[in-house]
Amino acid sequence: MKTIRVPLSGRRSFPLVEMIGVMYILAIVASLIVPQVIHAAGQARVDSTTVRFNTLRTASMSYHAKYGWFGGVAGTALDVSSPYNDWDTRVLLAEGMIEKPFVPLLGASHVVRAVASTSAAVNATNSAYSLDGAAASSTSTGTVILEVWSRDVDLDAARDLNQRLDGQSLGEASGLPGPDVKGRLKYDFAWSPYLIHK
């Protein structure tokens, strides 16, 4: 009896050199695409946080329009001699002015708080704000300031958010990782990465 061998069409093995070539091409394509995907995801977080800040600002202004000041539930007075934390949930959510607590997608932790403004020199850690970009504080002593503090925000994300909320004229001048204390958004990466927004 004769045995006839019939080769299976289309079946052949890849030589090692071809496999290495294919892997090399895939590595090059991945090195070009992955940074773009990561950048797009970061921009989406900044965009979403911008929308959430604007929603919080709109709800805060609705509260102010209703009661004429920033206080507690039903317009009651707040003791802001120390920060009144979680103002978004304790007041805005209770008043029905927001549907859920404010949660930015940037940073490791955050707090929305009501504090007393100060006329001290503007820096990244106090409640004085240079809203027009001048060196002096634009807020009057004794008024209530609403702040969002976020910790461990990436420098590029803080700069992008600053551009969206304050614009080019109130952005970081040096381009170096240092303080930006002009406008509504302040940060200082020389001290510890955090972000403040009024």
- Residue 7: its pLDDT value, please? 60
pLDDT at 191: 45
DSSP 172-185: -SS-SSSEE-BSSE
> Is 122 within 8 Å of 128 (Cβ atoms)?
yes
Which pLDDT does position 172 carry in this prediction?
Answer: 65
Question: Are the beta carbons of 113 and 146 closer than 8 angstroms?
Answer: yes
How high is the pLDDT of residue 182?
A: 84
pTM recorded for the entire structure: 0.73
30 Cβ contact list (under 8 Å, min separation 6):
none
Exposure string for 146-179, b = 16+ CB within 10 A, e = fewer: bbbbbeebbeebbbbbbbbbbeeebbbeeeebbb
**Gyration radius from the chain CA atoms:** 26
38-52 pLDDT, tens digit each = 888 888 999 999 999
Domain limits of the chain?
Answer: 16-197
* Angle formed by the axes of helices 16-67 and 155-165, nearest 10°: 40
> Low-confidence residues of the chain, pLDDT below 70?
1-13, 135, 141-142, 172-178, 190-198
